[in-house]
Amino acid sequence: MTRQTPPEDPDRLLRAAARRLDRRRFLTGTSAVAALAFSFGLPGDQSRIGQEDEEPRPADELPPETLTEDPFTLGVASGDPLPDAVVLWTRLAPRPLEPGSGMPATGSYRVTWEIARDEGFRHLQRRGSAYAHAEFNHAVHVDARGLGAGREYWYRFTAGRWRSPVARTRTLPARDADPARMRLALVSCQNYADGYYTLLRHAAAQDVEALFHVGDYIYENPVSAVGGHRRYTDRTLPAQHNREPRTLADYRLRYSLHKSDPDLQAAHHAHPWFVTWDDHEVHNDYSGTTESLVRRAAAYRAYWENQPLRLPQPDASGLTLYRRVHYGRLAQFDILDTRQYRDPQAGSQWRQSLGAEARDPRRTLMGATQERWFADGLRNSDARWNVVPQQVVLSRCAFGTRGSAPVLSTDAWDGYPAARERFLTAVDQAGGNRNLVLLTGDAHVAHAFDVKRDFDDPGSRTVGAEFVCSSITTERDGPAHPADWAGLRALNPHMKFYDGRRGYTVITLDRTATRADFHAIDRVTRPDGRITPAGSFVTEAGNPGVHPA
Ligand SMILES: [Fe+2]
């Protein structure tokens, strides 16, 4: 079964694909990145997920007995549930922290999957097989269809003589159902080197229907032999983690490192996830044109390989992450991608008062196509709640003043005022009260905001609510309030809640209100951090804005 030809280095293939694209003068925008990310090193058979339970047998299939070590060290995951389907994910990686994950550089392994109505798999619902291809770092994506709506399921994989952990998932209610309630966990920003994922373990135990991760699933900073601020004394991380990832091999290793964490696995094993990315999946504060095409393509490909996304097997047509999800008629979720299509940040500093460049009306955060998609979707929505899980803070957040001008983040919506104005105009033009709720990450601080129609005018209308979930680990242990707490409040009267500690948020939607329960942890630099309620806020249907619960 061993091939005589030497294995192709995926990063060499990626660079060669970039040279071919360059010759065709195709390097014109974001579509080129996705095209590049998925135009090389594809498995020969070109089968797609979601079409059949049994994937055609590839010519390079390897015998199962050559899997001599447990390949399920990264656990399993599920995501993007529908009323009748859910995506199941795993990746074969017997030695995940080594380059290549301890797998052969070529060839495919057959993996069987099962989904059942009970944890003991006595009531099997569906079963099938898929192939883990070397070209995708032995990741497996299965779109398990034919499931019942609004139901709990358990799933597992088998490869050779090895069986994966059993994990729980859940389908969405039927599109025309009118569920009384939905609960979800909102998380973001899990810098591995900044501490332990105790909050994810806590989120795993929550009674929620899904977990929304709104970006910074990985970070690109070097991770030392002791795991940075985790300060391991019982293990030594290999030296290749102690540098910034730039190649596909590097990004794959970075996912292995994060996904080897047992608390992260617990959160995947307990709930289906909806993921979207922010900047650190590539590089801090990157924007469309600031990173090399090849690096971004490598990061995008590794992201797809490692997330339970319902996207077709990549074929160079793109990696569209923004998507719409219906929780019956209770809520419409418009999950945004404010990173891939944005214009570069205006100005030289992360926080500054905005100049004329930032106010250029042509500047975009979502890109024109996604802006239209959002406006159309909101106008046509029949949902009680219109929920927008997305990356960076939409509400004005002034950190100080320079002269009379507020100092703002150039990376958040504050740095793209024309784009924010178009977003809020779309909300206006959708008509009526749309019960807009933004679910946001990135800030590494928990917030509740009244979303104002015009943030320059404190007296202007409130048009929605924004809840920001803080970070799982990023920025480590910290105080609940900044030194100039009174000053921050005075600058931002629409900011109803601030907690600077690490945390996450449980969101409960029902027919009358949406409630945010913020959880905070005293420290993440040790594995025994204590988690306590940090605050609870509600926004009522028909009455935009937030107030204490
Ligand atoms: Fe972050």
Q: Which of 84, 94, 76 is nearest to 141 (CA)?
A: 76
SS3 39: coil
- Whose tokens are 């599920």? That residue is 78
Q: Give the pLDDT score at 440.
A: 98
As a whole number of angstroms, the distance between CA 496 and CA 489 comes to 8
Q: Give the pLDDT score at 350.
A: 84
Ligand 1 centroid–CA 372 distance in Å is: 27
Amino acid at 72: F
The encoded tokens of residue 314 equal 């990549």
| Residue 2 confidence class, pLDDT cut points 50, 70, 90 | very low
Ligand 1 centroid–CA 214 distance in Å is: 10
pLDDT digits (tens, 9 = 90+) for 489-504: 999 999 999 999 999 9
Ligand 1 centroid–CA 219 distance in Å is: 8
Q: Is the pLDDT assigned to residue 204 strictly greater than 60?
A: yes
Of the candidate ranges 2-11, 322-331, 346-355, 407-416, the one whose mean pLDDT is the lowest: 2-11
Q: Give the pLDDT score at 314.
A: 67
What integer is the mean pLDDT of 141-162? 97
Residue 291 or residue 425, greater confidence: 425
Ligand 1 centroid–CA 369 distance in Å is: 26
Ligand 1 centroid–CA 332 distance in Å is: 25
- In order of 106, 210, 469, 538, the CA distances from 466 in angstroms are 47, 19, 10, 11
Q: Which of 193, 156, 192, 154 is nearest to 171 (CA)?
A: 154
| Residue 474 confidence class, pLDDT cut points 50, 70, 90 | very high
List 503's β-bridge partners, or say none. 520
b/e 277-294 (16+ beta carbons within 10 angstroms → b):
bbbbbbbebbbbeebebb
Q: What number of helices (H) and strands (E) belong to the chain? A: 9, 25
Ligand 1 centroid–CA 278 distance in Å is: 8
| Residue 54 confidence class, pLDDT cut points 50, 70, 90 | low
Of the candidate ranges 42-46, 179-183, 295-299, 534-538, the one whose mean pLDDT is the lowest: 42-46
Q: Give the pLDDT score at 102.
A: 96
The encoded tokens of residue 238 equal 């290999």
Amino acid at 51: Q
Characterize the bridge pairing of strands 385-390 and 436-440: parallel
The DSSP H or E segment spanning 425 is helix 417-430
What integer is the mean pLDDT of 227-231? 98
Q: Is the pLDDT assigned to residue 46 strictly greater than 50?
A: no
What integer is the mean pLDDT of 149-176? 98
Ligand 1 centroid–CA 280 distance in Å is: 7
Q: Is the pLDDT assigned to residue 90 strictly greater than 60?
A: yes
Ligand 1 centroid–CA 216 distance in Å is: 5
As a whole number of angstroms, the distance between CA 112 and CA 128 comes to 6
Amino acid at 237: L
pLDDT digits (tens, 9 = 90+) for 185-201: 999 999 999 999 999 99
Q: Give the pLDDT score at 34.
A: 79
Amino acid at 330: L
Of the candidate ranges 64-78, 369-383, 440-454, 478-492, the one whose mean pLDDT is the lowest: 478-492
Amino acid at 221: N
Ligand 1 centroid–CA 337 distance in Å is: 15
Q: What integer best gives the mean pLDDT of the chain?
A: 92
As a whole number of angstroms, the distance between CA 206 and CA 185 comes to 8
Ligand 1 centroid–CA 188 distance in Å is: 7
- Whose tokens are 């959708």? That residue is 430
Judge whether 386 and 378 are in contact, CB under 8 Å.
yes
pLDDT digits (tens, 9 = 90+) for 386-445: 999 999 999 999 999 999 899 999 999 999 999 999 999 999 999 888 999 999 999 999
Give me the DSSP letters along 349-389: SSEE---TTTT-TT--SS-HHHHHHHHHHHHT---SEEEEE
As a whole number of angstroms, the distance between CA 353 and CA 28 comes to 31
Judge whether 501 and 479 are in contact, CB under 8 Å.
yes
> What's the angle, vertex CA 185, arms to CA 463 and CA 509, rounded to 5?
45
| Residue 1 confidence class, pLDDT cut points 50, 70, 90 | very low
Residues 6+ apart with CB under 8 A from 369: 341
What integer is the mean pLDDT of 168-176? 98
Q: Give the pLDDT score at 288.
A: 67
Number of residues that make up the chain: 549
Ligand 1 centroid–CA 471 distance in Å is: 7
As a whole number of angstroms, the distance between CA 28 and CA 504 comes to 38
Ligand 1 centroid–CA 501 distance in Å is: 14
Q: Which of 400, 384, 392, 439 is nearest to 419 (CA)?
A: 392
Beta-strand ranges (E) seen in 64-165 are 76-79, 86-91, 108-116, 124-133, 139-144, 152-159, 162-163
List 532's β-bridge partners, or say none. 520
As a whole number of angstroms, the distance between CA 96 and CA 296 comes to 22
Give me the DSSP letters along 329-351: TTEEEEE---STTPPPPSSSSSE
Q: Is the pLDDT assigned to residue 29 strictly greater than 60?
A: no
What integer is the mean pLDDT of 60-84? 97
What integer is the mean pLDDT of 112-134? 96
Q: Is the pLDDT assigned to residue 98 strictly greater than 90?
A: yes
Ligand 1 centroid–CA 228 distance in Å is: 17
- In order of 24, 451, 494, the CA distances from 457 in angstroms are 49, 12, 11
Amino acid at 158: T
The DSSP H or E segment spanning 267 is helix 262-270
Amino acid at 90: T
The DSSP H or E segment spanning 298 is helix 293-306
Ligand 1 centroid–CA 330 distance in Å is: 30
pLDDT over 70 for what percent of the chain?
93
- In order of 195, 419, 468, the CA distances from 102 in angstroms are 26, 46, 39
Residues 6+ apart with CB under 8 A from 316: 34, 35, 36, 38, 39
Q: Give the pLDDT score at 511.
A: 97
Ligand 1 centroid–CA 279 distance in Å is: 8
pLDDT digits (tens, 9 = 90+) for 234-255: 999 999 999 999 999 999 999 9
pLDDT over 90 for what percent of the chain?
81
